[in-house]
Chain A
């Protein structure tokens, strides 16, 4: 729906991947890995 959201930064300069990495007790590894793959895909494009 909104692929650009994976690169969006909030006012604390955090991307969704940053939040997933910092909240390892809440965010599952699957989600963090999925976001990491998507960020790499977006960067390669």
Chain B
């Protein structure tokens, strides 16, 4: 490898500067061969700019972060040969940078679920995606906002069906028709785990003001998201009938099943408990991470006697 500068150090240089000093095009200072050691053809030569910078030590680069306009990003596609697989080939220079960030930075720094978080959010709101990136990944928001602004509609490379159902279930008054329509489009979305985030206002004790933050939802399954957000019984039953096996899957940080979530959040609607147990009788046997059965949760909350009876026998 020809480059003097390590990619990780280089990325630290990029992200250590303030949001106003950030230059997106400064990535062309660094060795793309090292960045894409597995994906890129090794015969591709480094750009001329990179050769000049190789003579400088990393400390010099850290002291003087270069500013290069967004126009220089147009050269990135010419400089890098991408894998032959069509779906993974970027269509815009900015998208290629996005792939660099996702493939090389985020895989190391954050778990996979958070990477999905960015993807889902970018389907709906570019500014929301940059906020998530700022909070979750500790990247400057202007960096990813610039990326997403040039990237264009996220639907070009993302599947819009992933996460739409999850997004809908967050809303408290989601209509049954909307959920049924999404399930008709993609039935497997009911059993897919997708981490989504929503913006919630919270009081910050450091700035003494209300701050809007992107907060990760507690449950990746749409059924449990709907239960936690007090969805109607018809919506819940539609999600259960789409895939009853979700009822026995552990979900969230407490590894709760859907019956735990129902009893904890919905004060145990007896009809919904019946629907759960008739769809999947083994849902009553699932234990959370503290070995609590749904009956434990029912006794801890204000569950009605009928719901307890149905859980028991």
A residues neighboring B (CB under 8 Å)? 1-3, 5-6, 8-12, 14, 16-17, 19-20, 23, 26-28, 30-32, 34-35, 38
Residue-wise, chain B 266-310 has the 8 Å CB interface mask toward A (1 for contact) of 000000000001000100110100111111101111111100111
- Extra 12 A-B pairs, beta carbons < 8 Å, given A2-B293, A12-B290: A1-B312, A2-B311, A6-B295, A14-B296, A16-B293, A16-B299, A19-B300, A20-B299, A23-B299, A26-B301, A27-B299, A31-B305
Q: How far is the CA of A14 from the CA of B293 in the complex (A)?
A: 11
A-chain residues with CB within 8 Å of residue B308 when the two chains form the complex:
31, 34-35
A17 to chain B, nearest CB (A): 7
Assess whether A1 is in contact with B281, with CB atoms less than 8 Å apart. yes
B-chain residues with CB within 8 Å of residue A19 when the two chains form the complex:
296, 299-300
A-chain residues with CB within 8 Å of residue B298 when the two chains form the complex:
16, 31
4 nearest CB pairs, A to B: A2-B284, A20-B299, A19-B299, A10-B291
Q: List 28 A-B contacts (CB under 8 A).
A: A1-B277, A1-B311, A1-B312, A2-B293, A3-B313, A5-B293, A8-B291, A8-B296, A10-B287, A10-B290, A10-B292, A10-B296, A14-B296, A16-B293, A16-B298, A19-B299, A23-B299, A28-B302, A28-B304, A28-B305, A31-B299, A31-B304, A31-B308, A34-B305, A34-B308, A34-B309, A35-B299, A35-B308
Q: How far is the CA of A16 from the CA of B117 in the complex (A)?
A: 37
B-chain residues with CB within 8 Å of residue A31 when the two chains form the complex:
298-299, 303-305, 308
B22 to chain A, nearest CB (A): 48
B106 to chain A, nearest CB (A): 35
Which interface residue of B290, B309, B310, B312 has the most chain A CB atoms within 10 A?
A: B312
B300 to chain A, nearest CB (A): 5
B-chain residues with CB within 8 Å of residue A28 when the two chains form the complex:
302, 304-305
- Which parts of B106-127 form the interface with A (CB within 8 Å)? none
Assess whether B300 is in contact with A23, with CB atoms less than 8 Å apart. yes
A10 to chain B, nearest CB (A): 4
